[in-house]
Amino acid sequence: MKKQISLPACLTYLSLLLLTACGGSNSMVQTQVTPSLQQGWELVWADEFAADKLDTQSWQIETGGQGWGNHELENYTARKENLRLENGMLVIEARKEKYGDNDYTSARIKTAGLREFTYGRFEARIKIPAGQGIWPAFWLLGTDISAVGWPERGEIDIMENIGKEAATTYGTLHGPGYYGATGFGGSKKLAQGKLADDFHIYAVEWDAAQIRWYLDGNLYHQASPASIPGKWVFDHEFFIILNLAIGGDWPGAPDASTSFPQQMLVDYVRVYKRKT
């Protein structure tokens, strides 16, 4: 991890259970004790989104409408209409509106240069939207991507969903020789209902030997240097991204069935390391 931080005393194991001093998120219903706290992990960084504005010591806001390598249709902005903290949540809101050369707006944030990590458990409690052409994501990118290029330093997709597959979350690795449609991935489908019906905990556990994907504490996909169809590029620092894309090569464009605005609600993002 590039920047080690000292957690406030209130972010202890006990306070995460009781939601005292620091407050966590708004209620015991919203913030659940996750499996991480019972499996030999310790918290090294978290954003509970309990403030009145985004923590710019942890997050950068990315803007623009150039398609983002996937022919996406939105223009990412820093406006409160698209990005805000509200009721103890990060709200990323996609709207159907003309902005620049784009017909939709949304938001995208990253921890690049601020909070970067090698190995650990990365999890977020998120309520995603649903609908044709809607593409929420929680993911990691190698820190030196701007110098080296994609996918040479790797991408770890912790959660992706395309709205037309409303019950399915995808977890995928991209690297040299396995990227885009040939990424090394797995998926988990709910037995009933849609992911957008409620909050879910999306997580990966990542170490030198393996990366494991979880939905609500249930393992559904694994990757190791021996299992992937190319070079393993996951032994260096990565940063976190949260975004809500509209359209693109994978989900396709919204259609008449897609309603707007759409919201991706993030209760928290937490990063743990193995206890020694």
Q: Which residues are catalytic?
A: 155, 160
Pairing of strands 60-62, 184-189: unpaired
User: How many beta carbons lie within 10 A of that of residue 41, not counting itself?
Assistant: 21
Closest C-alpha to 137, from 126, 151, 146, 150: 126
Contact between 240 and 115 under an 8 Å Cβ cutoff? The reply is: yes
Rounded distance between C-alpha atoms, residue 276 and residue 258, angstroms: 48
Residues with Cβ within 8 Å of 188's Cβ and at least 6 positions away in sequence, in order, are: 168, 169, 171, 213, 215, 218, 220, 221
Rounded distance between C-alpha atoms, residue 223 and residue 206, angstroms: 9
Closest C-alpha to 83, from 61, 113, 58: 61
DSSP secondary structure string for all residues of 191-202: SSS-GGGS-EEE
Rounded distance between C-alpha atoms, residue 267 and residue 6, angstroms: 21
User: How many beta carbons lie within 10 A of that of residue 31, not counting itself?
Assistant: 20
Pairing of strands 211-215, 218-223: antiparallel
**DSSP label of 178:** B
